[in-house]
Structure 1
Amino acid sequence: MQEKRTSDRAPEDMPTSFGFRTVGEGSKQALVDDVFHKVADRYDVMNDLMSGGLHRVWKDAMVSVLHPPKSDSAGWRLLDVAGGTGDIATRTIHRSNGAVKAVVCDINESMLGVGRDRAQKAGLADRIEFTQGNAEELPFPDKSFDAYTIAFGIRNVPDIPKALREARRVLKRGGKFLCLEFSEVDVPVLDKVYDAFSFNVIPPIGRMVTGDGEPYQYLVESIRNFPHQERFAEMIREAGFERVSYRNYSGGIAALHSGWKY
């Protein structure tokens, strides 16, 4: 069994961290893009493999915490970043009974293509806008959105502090930030079971399902390099958010971080 790797990298090392490899400055984004071009058509399968299907439960819980309004009188708008397939945006619109609008921003056009097709088939094309853009340099004016969400995407961003500052910039005063991400397991025994499953089961199954296990190897490794819950909460505070908190799901396999812009 492969030895557990914990989130020992400093945040400033993340721009050159691609899984357990160190890559050249400016190289990570293209490598990450290639991963998601490969898995876009099987994105739900990927998340099912990574979480044992629990990502669906965690995403529903995230939208419950988001608590979107059920009236469009205020023109409430959600920005979902790195959410190309429209999963969180769709859940949010359904939770609001169709009252709110969402903008999905993703750097990967393959993921956006999947999202546009799904929104069209679900009859939500008039409620969800899909825009290609970089989380580090969002193509939106200041104070444009009431809420910002990012689910299982922040660890793939090279410059996470910059992306967090951008999140705060585009939020209105009183806006809410929510980030759902795979995190550090804090339950004895479960951590060892999860590591064994992650390293020994997920890449081979990914290879069997999609014909390529390499993207899944990167995704498993990227989780271990992501800052642990307390450190990531500190990074959110450093970006200027207030009332920052987090809650663990399934023993810390995933964590939902939140913050407010005042």
Structure 2
Amino acid sequence: MTTRKTTDFGFTQVPIEEKAKRVADVFTSVATRYDVMNDLMSLGIHRLWKRYAIELSAVKRGQKVLDLAGGTGDLAKQFAAITGGIGNVVLADINADMLRVGRERLLDEGIVVDCAQVNAECLPFADNTFDIITIAFGLRNVTDKAAALRSMLRVLKPSGRVLILEFSELQLKPLKPFYDLYSFKILPLMGKLVANDAESYRYLAESIRMHPNQETLLNMMQTAGFERCRYHNLSGGIVAIHCGYKF
């Protein structure tokens, strides 16, 4: 008898082919309240995390940037301002609703970027296309993370870099009970009150715990073929930025 392959969806095991749809349902549900919830959940600190990621990218005028899982366009907006009219920024997301919200938000601010609905595991771009690839708070939702890393490496130019901004493993152990209380009790309650969706934010907390920790993700990047890989812990390891290069 053939055993059906499963993967994690938060703390639940689901058939591999079902995860993408379940994740899509989560983000379709929260798309219109996504930015408000991000500010509330992090007390606005997510903006500082993203600003640091942009600084680490060392993006320059005229470069080509792919912002994967770009959602509502926070990073794409900043990249567009830096790369200028001679550069190119692609705002990409697997979820059409998130992409629509991001595109409309940027257009409202007079910012035009290319938009693409893509699966990070099989990016539809030519080899050696982008100078910089970022993925912020999106890798943990990808079913096959190793495939996504290989796909990113393929479309990255030689000497290009990838930056992965993602929740990671808290390094300040005395704070763990408080962090767990916030994650599993307060966060779903906020989701219910603000976005009318407690379950999506319960999934968020669970998906963070199931995501590879700092060293594991570093090893995955090296296995995929990235070089000079390193990471920076932010906010005590609640978030980490992983960097890697293609040579």
Q: TM-score range by the shorter chain?
A: over 0.9
Aligned counterparts of 2:195 and 2:205: Cα–Cα separation in 1: 16
Please tell me whether the aligned partners of residues 229 and 244 of structure 2 are also in contact (alpha carbons under 8 angstroms). Answer: yes
3-state SS of 2:170 partner: coil
Partner of 1:162: 147
| TM-score normalised by structure 1 residue count | 0.89
Partner of 1:175: 160
**Structure 1 outlier segments of 4+, above 6 Å:** none
By how many angstroms is 1:98 displaced? 6.0
Percent identical: 48
Q: Which amino acid aligns with 2:96?
A: E
3-state SS of 2:149 partner: helix
Partner of 2:75: 88
By how many angstroms is 1:191 displaced? 2.2
Aligned counterparts of 2:12 and 2:151: Cα–Cα separation in 1: 27
> What are the ranges of 5 or more consecutive residues in structure 2 without an aligned counterpart?
none
Partner of 1:62: 53
Partner of 2:124: 139
Partner of 1:200: 185
Aligned match for 2:133, one of 138, 142, 148: 148
How many residue pairs get aligned? The number is: 243
Partner of 1:47: 38
By how many angstroms is 1:119 displaced? 1.4
Superposed CA deviations along residues 10-45 of structure 1, whole A, max 9, x for unmatched, are xxxx96100000011211000000000001111112
Please tell me whether the aligned partners of residues 50 and 198 of structure 1 are also in contact (alpha carbons under 8 angstroms). Answer: no
Aligned counterparts of 1:98 and 1:251: Cα–Cα separation in 2: 38
Please tell me whether the aligned partners of residues 64 and 131 of structure 2 are also in contact (alpha carbons under 8 angstroms). Answer: yes
Partner of 2:21: 30
> What are the ranges of 5 or more consecutive residues in structure 1 without an aligned counterpart?
1-13
Q: Which amino acid aligns with 2:176?
A: D
CA RMSD in angstroms comes to 1.5
Structure ranking higher on relative contact order (CA contacts 8 Å, 6+ apart): 1
The reply on whether 1:110 has 2:101 as its aligned counterpart is no
By how many angstroms is 1:116 displaced? 1.0
Structure with greater proportional helix content: 2
Summarize the alignment of residues 242-257 of structure 1 with structure 2, pairs less than 5 Å apart: 242-257=227-242
Change beyond 3 A, Cα 1:163–1:104: same
Aligned counterparts of 2:159 and 2:57: Cα–Cα separation in 1: 13
Change beyond 3 A, Cα 1:185–1:99: farther
Aligned counterparts of 1:35 and 1:258: Cα–Cα separation in 2: 28
Partner of 2:108: 121
The reply on whether 1:215 has 2:164 as its aligned counterpart is no
By how many angstroms is 1:96 displaced? 4.5
3-state SS of 2:121 partner: coil
| TM-score normalised by structure 2 residue count | 0.94
